Amino acid sequence: MSIINSQSPKARLHSIESFGTVDGPGIRFVAFFQGCSMRCAYCHNPDTWDPQRPVQYEMTPEELLAEVKRYKNFIRKGGVTCTGGEPLMQAPFLIQFLKLCKQEGFHTAIDTSGAIFNNEVKQALQYTDLVLLDIKALDDSLHKKITAHTRTANQQLLDHLQQIQKPTWIRHVVVPGLTDSDEQLAALAQHIARYTDIVERVEILPYHTMGIYKYTELQIPYPLAGTPPLPTERKENAIRIFQQYLSCPVI
């Protein structure tokens, strides 16, 4: 699935962050790509869903690289992260942009839900130093309930990352009453343990309600209305469970 073509790889970007600190190692230039096919129940950026929604930036790979280079001194020990939305919806652009970034010596990362896996994605990964991969749920039916997607592509991507030995960080959102049972957490931790040769880190992301106002503005019903934020002790519990099965850092 692609919203641009390889003959005219002009990205549609929701926004840009020049000093990102949570989307990969070090201080990073972060490009938020517009468009996502998933409809995660807890998504805090529903304004990035519609690929055709008006955006702040439409840029060629060269134009975005020029913007990145403005901050070269600040991100030299960090790098560039492409997130979203779902950046792999614009894989033809990513291939060219990430290649340019590598030519300039920037560390590159893709933050993805794993909703798309095809040959274009494989090409983009050739120029990617790190993948931040969300795993929404291990159970197929729960994954579809959360995202309106099967987890097939997510699993295919993870298997491919292992095949090509690509450094990977796993991210998992823990939601009260949905993904926070000890049994689910243990099963997911054991699944990730199969990929210890590539998984460098696991991030436990506690569910929060900070994005609800966007649903109101967009006149979209909020799927998890009434669900409270994850208590600190439940995040700590999740970390302890994951640490039982994994030797990499769990935060």
Q: List the domain boundaries for the chain.
A: 11-245
- What pLDDT sits at residue 9? 82
- What pLDDT sits at residue 78? 97
Q: Cα–Cα distance between 148 and 39 in angstroms, integer?
A: 6
- What pLDDT sits at residue 247? 95
Q: Collect contacts of 51-54 with beta carbons under 8 A, ≥24 apart.
A: 51/3, 51/12, 51/89, 52/3
- What pLDDT sits at residue 2? 38
Q: Cα–Cα distance between 15 and 33 in angstroms, integer?
A: 7
Q: Block means of pLDDT (10 residues each) for the chain, length 251 residues?
A: 53 95 96 96 94 94 97 95 96 97 98 96 98 96 95 97 98 97 97 97 96 94 96 98 97 97
Superfamily of domain 11-245: Aldolase class I (3.20.20.70)
Q: Are 110 and 90 in contact (CB under 8 A)?
A: no
Neighbouring CB atoms inside 10 A of 7's CB total 6
Q: Are 33 and 69 in contact (CB under 8 A)?
A: no
State pTM to two decimals.
0.93
